[in-house]
Chains A and B, each alone.
Chain A
Amino acid sequence: MPQGFFTDTTLCIGCKACEVACKQWNQLPDDGFDFTGFSYDNTAQLGASTWRHVAFVERPVPLGGTQLGNFSWLMMSDVCKHCARAGCLEACPTGAIVRTEFGTVYIQPEICNGCGYCISACPFGVVDRREDDGRAWKCTLCYDRLKADMTPACAKACPTASIQYGDLVQLRVKAKERVVELQSRGLAEAYLYGVDAENQPGTGGLNAFFLLVDKPEAYNLPPDPVVPTKLMKRSWLTMAGAALGLGVLAVSAVVAP
């Protein structure tokens, strides 16, 4: 049964407990301390050693249902989306990236040879290679914990249930109810991002989907991501035609008098 995350950004308080819990449980190494200088977000991005990342969006715009004036502060805990059709998985030449029994996307570190193709194939810029390690890494959706019937570390640590883990079918129902509830409370902007294949046809839906209140670009999410493999049929055909053309050209250059 596919399992997944529902990240309800309206509940996020930006405490970064998920980031810390993820680093600790997975025993991920340090990737350097730095001040970005633009917000409370000093993590800046997901990476080989950072599998949860809390984004802080500061906007001079009011948020529906609040009385804060011309200001709103949006927080979102970003993660690998475990796409139903994953660009990384379909591009991986070694078969290192697999779909697990929980419907999640998992990179087997003992197989990955560090070719780096998955990095360019992910439409969300999630997976990355740590240069001193040489392999590609990303969120495993706590594969080890799932096998032991435990909740992933980030969802367990989240104090506000902004990150919810569970059976994907139930999560979707819950999420849709939540949108209706928020809208009835005046937050008309609330919508779901990647909840299913109908919502995001390019990826067939995300096993880790989000409730957002601004357009995806504001959170550094692509508005209409597509798994690149879906677009390749014509490219392969063009390639075959062009290659045949080269054959014809070579033969005719030789045999012409």
Chain B
Amino acid sequence: MIADPETDVSRPVEDGRNIDPRLGTLAGEGSHQQVERIQASRPTPSNELATGTTYYGLPLLKETPWKWAIPAYLYVGGLAGASAALAASSLLRRDSLGTIGRTGRILAFGGSVVSAAFLIQDLGRPSRFIYMLRVFRPSSPMNVGTWILSAFGGFAFGAIALPGRLGDAACLGAGIFGLPLTSYTAVLLANTAVPLWQGTRNALPLLFVSSAASSAASALELFDLPADEARVVRRFSIAAKLADILCAIAVQREANVVERVGRPLRKNPLWKAAKVCVLASLVVSVVPRKSRWLRIAGGVLGTLGAAATRFGVFEAGRHSSRDPQASFEQQRAGMSLASSVTTSLTPA
């Protein structure tokens, strides 16, 4: 006898499975899927439908579920990595670079803790974060990156916690792991089907490294430094910010190879703001013998620019995954791996 759903109290939550527990057990492949709310989440047709064949304008790809914590990590991780690199280099001149060394170590360790917190917070199952280290998988930039971040975090902790020589050795370790930490995230984004990220796979690592360097330079500009250390930061800062601007242009050019792919980046307000901020901050850094406040202004502008760069790339990527035409045009234009073969097999 089928139980009356209105009166049967032993019935599981109304989640559409319609299983009467007296007649059947929940043992299917999807039976452990938890349901709190039943709600339709239909994709919205893209509003840029003007051209070409699509399936009612629906997105081809699923949008990334990542929230603000991921672009925030892109910034913080880059800052920590580049700060560690600078702190490790300052070991070469330990006598005179105390502030850069100390501040760099603190930024590195603090950054690694904040990074881990952001990444764990964004997981669908945060309690299982440690599963990231279950395996070593070179094919997954996220897995490789978690190993890099873990090693970096360990060394960065040693660099502030261990005394003397040991601390210096740990600082060197953090500096070495800090280098890939600034840039693996670019490969991580590029290793997706998102047209914008995949389409900028060669220039994005350059941008992320130089943006990380200018984050660290800008953070150091906020501190009061002795004259010789201020000179070091100034040199580093000018080079980093200049590279940052050039690489941003390179990313935009690579994205624009297919107009539709580059469009969301070109139109992204954060991306535009980032370029203005970094440029302004570069101008401030170039001014010689500036006042303390001018230096701080340069640091603030640079920090805003670096953060906006990461948020801009992230948001524009999310936007491009909603546009099915971006993928279609990218693949038809031969930007995918083997189109010379496939286009002869799939009708145009």
Contact = CB atoms under 8 A, between A and B. Distances in A.
A167 interface: no
Contacts of A29: 15-17, 30, 33, 35, 38
Nearest to B179: A243
Contacts of B235: 253, 256
Contacts of A140: 29
Interface residues of B, number: 115
Contact of A49 (B19, B33, B82, B347): B33
A8 B187 CA distance: 37
Contacts of B61: 120, 122-123, 125
Contacts of B34: 130, 132-134
A235 B336 contact: no
A131 B129 CA distance: 17
Contacts of B142: 91, 93, 115, 117
Interface in B12-34: 15-17, 19, 26-34
B208 to A, nearest CB: 8
A191 interface: yes
Given A26-B29, A243-B183, A245-B209, A255 B93 contact: yes
Interface stretch (A9-17, A34-42, A157-165, A169-177): A34-42
Nearest to A85: B139
Interface stretch (B162-170, B188-196, B262-270, B278-286): B188-196
B55 interface: yes
Interface string B192-235: 11100110011111101110110000000000000000001101
Contacts of A27: 17, 19, 26-31
Interface residues of A, number: 107
A219 B55 contact: yes
A182 interface: no
Contact of B55 (A115, A218, A255): A218
Nearest to B317: A120
Contacts of B146: 93
Given A44-B42, A234-B201, A249-B213, A132 B336 contact: no
A95 interface: yes
A133 B139 CA distance: 26
A254 B92 contact: yes
B142 to A, nearest CB: 4
Contact of B212 (A36, A112, A246): A246
Given A96-B131, A254-B92, A220 B55 contact: yes
Given A116-B65, A226-B338, A254 B232 contact: yes
B343 A223 contact: yes
Contact of B336 (A26, A39, A226, A247): A226
22 contacts: A27-B17, A27-B19, A29-B17, A31-B41, A45-B58, A49-B30, A94-B143, A111-B128, A130-B34, A191-B346, A217-B52, A223-B343, A223-B348, A224-B337, A235-B187, A239-B184, A243-B209, A246-B210, A247-B175, A250-B85, A250-B175, A253-B232
